[in-house]
Copies of this chain bind each other. A is one copy, B any other.
């Protein structure tokens, strides 16, 4: 089911006067901040230093690596004027930052002692999308983190790809987002990369690419002349890798993968409101109950907690906060006050539990949250695994298109690939023999699906 517009307006506003550019609001920024915090911490622990490069890239720098610019040239926003002057040199809004960062790598890297050099930046990038834009999923301005690293040789670069796979995996695990990593086919790799690994998840049967890792080998270091002197005094090109997840798409995945008929659900760490306290006073000691609830709120201030003191009925409040994905509801009435108890209701299972107030510790809440995450993860995984199919014929494949990821056999013939790509995208291929479902000749395993 679709998410209510009323709820989405708490995340973003899509009515801004530049098409495809979103206004991020409070709830989106809360989720994005958490993602950013987790990711930056992990990257820095793995030796990345934070940097922030200018948004503008001079035309000659952007065009230095020929395959790269070919891939982006139809998508670049150009600054051509400043004040009342026409600029001598056009400046691009960064569509991605390989070219400016590698310009500086060529100054920063001199010796093998400078390697590995790993940097990351969280920023917005700009692409003049010609496809239809779609909030969080396809925008002309989007938020991401991009990592860029230089290594002495291909082994170190490959090792870094493994490290990043682990880091992104940990982040996606915290977000409870199921995914598959596909090695993109040659015609769909990042412009300038020797190979591209892409993280694909499934939303409503369609494939959403949420992150990528590119091994650039020596192509960019040749274009940008990034050399180091090795232990023997030889000058060699560095091996580069780059990688990034889209924060907007991660947010879109969290919103769409975990929701149920009652509304949004979040892995607890990412819920804009984690706990809602609802005072219940049909009759009885109203002031005492409110006071009791306020104390509970104070006690739980490590979390994002709201005490709903509005004059809605408890039922209305339940409904309101379930829709918004408050993952734990604490109810307290006059009887609870007398007994030093509260009723605790989980958003995922709706299970009610009466517990003593003294037992409602931060640890207890953290424990419930951990179990909620586990439950969300398992249920998302079940759904994801149920959307993976195997097709032995074109007809079988067609029947599943738009429902998930389909494993097929595909040969090298351009005609067979084109036939498949009339109704689906090839997400990745594997070095495993399989009969081509188009022509029947020998081919390899491929994964296809309808993409966003």
Contacts and interface: CB of A to CB of B under 8 A. Distances in A.
Interface string A247-271: 0000000000000000000000000
Nearest to A30: B50
Task: Name the residue in A61, A79, A85 with the highest tally of chain B Cβ atoms < 10 Å from its Cβ.
Answer: A79
A13 interface: yes
A77 B73 contact: no
Contact of A50 (B16, B29, B74, B83): B29
B79 A93 contact: yes
Number of copies of this chain that the complex holds: 2
A24 to B, nearest CB: 4
B141 A83 contact: no
Contact of A82 (B16, B58, B76): B76
A432 interface: no
Interface in A82-119: 82-85, 90-91, 93, 100, 103-104, 107
A364 B78 CA distance: 54
A53 B83 contact: no
Contact of A26 (B21, B25, B50): B50
Interface string A38-67: 000000000001111111111001000000
Contacts of A52: 23-24, 29, 143
A81 interface: yes
A22 interface: yes
Contacts of A93: 55, 79
A306 to B, nearest CB: 14
A25 B49 CA distance: 8
A102 to B, nearest CB: 12
A451 B255 CA distance: 50
Contacts of A100: 16-17
A90 B84 CA distance: 13
A128 B82 contact: yes
A83 B18 contact: no
A130 interface: yes
Contacts of A25: 49-51
A55 B126 CA distance: 10
Contacts of A141: 54-56
A351 interface: no
A80 interface: yes
A420 interface: no
A181 to B, nearest CB: 30
A262 B278 CA distance: 58
22 contacts: A16-B54, A16-B100, A16-B103, A16-B104, A17-B58, A18-B54, A18-B58, A23-B52, A24-B52, A25-B49, A26-B49, A29-B50, A29-B51, A52-B143, A55-B55, A55-B124, A74-B84, A76-B83, A77-B81, A77-B91, A78-B82, A82-B128
Given A29-B51, A73-B83, A78-B81, 19 more contacts: A15-B107, A16-B100, A17-B61, A22-B54, A23-B51, A24-B51, A26-B49, A26-B50, A55-B126, A55-B141, A56-B77, A73-B84, A74-B83, A75-B82, A77-B79, A77-B81, A77-B91, A79-B80, A82-B128
